[in-house]
Amino acid sequence: MALKKVKSKPVSINPGILLLYGPPKVGKTTMLSKLDDCLIIDTESGSSMIEGYIHKVNNRQELINLVKEAKDGHDYKYFAIDTIDKVVDWAEKAVCREYEVPSIADLSFGKGYALVREKVMNTIHNLKDCVDHLIVVGHRKVARAIVDGKAIVEPESLDITGKLKNMIMSDCDAIGYVHREEENLMVSFKSNEAVEAGSRCEHLKGQIVEFKWNLIYKKEKKDGVSKTSKSEK
């Protein structure tokens, strides 16, 4: 049978996995609570002062149990991991327990780091398989160094080291840096010398937008044509 020339249409115009990172206390968790049909998976007890759909998890096993429950069904459109940093920490501790070592660095040939990457990425993928849209929240990393007497400042990025950071960011359809400009909370999807950001979604590419959910997730129609939702959540 001859190979047919068929142009496919986008499955969705919105990010399947959205990464949001930024300074502490900037308002990331508060904004999650304003997104309809979003379950906040709170790994750092950062939601105690807000009202919303919140499921607190205190360790890796509780997170695994949550994934199992989600696979049996739920009523949410969005899951938000707040934060991914803690998920990485739990994965490291799990590897150390399994191999009875004090540090993942004690496993030869980088095996410990590879096992952590596998556990974290499996968690992200398993959660995404359960929901239309997954939001991954993380802390920022500001890297500074002195080279030949000169201060070198790298772009702000997700505060996870090594290959794992690159794997997480590569899996995300959009990466937004959350920050404040005077009184307004903003999200930058524009990468530059100051921050790492970007988007595969056309409406977010190279954009710096006010943090309003209707500007990030556009309303989709069955025919593939979209328009911005009237809601400003």
Q: Is residue 167 classed exposed, middle or buried when 0-12, 13-18 and 19+ CB atoms within 10 A define those classes?
A: middle
CA separation for the pair 107, 42 (Å, rounded)? 30
Domain boundaries, the chain: 17-205
Tell me the two tokens of residue 213. 């959910």
For domain 17-205, give the CATH superfamily. Answer: P-loop containing nucleotide triphosphate hydrolases (3.40.50.300)
CA separation for the pair 4, 20 (Å, rounded)? 40
CA separation for the pair 25, 59 (Å, rounded)? 23
- The band of 48, judged by pLDDT with boundaries at 50, 70 and 90, is confident
Residues 181-209 have pLDDT tens digits of 988 999 999 998 889 999 999 999 999 99
Tell me the two tokens of residue 79. 């899951």
More confident residue, 91 or 155: 91
Lowest-confidence pick of 77-91, 122-136, 144-158: 144-158
Neighbours of 170 (CB within 10 A): 8
- The band of 225, judged by pLDDT with boundaries at 50, 70 and 90, is very low
Over range 39-58, report the average pLDDT.
93
What is the predicted pLDDT for the residue at 226? 47
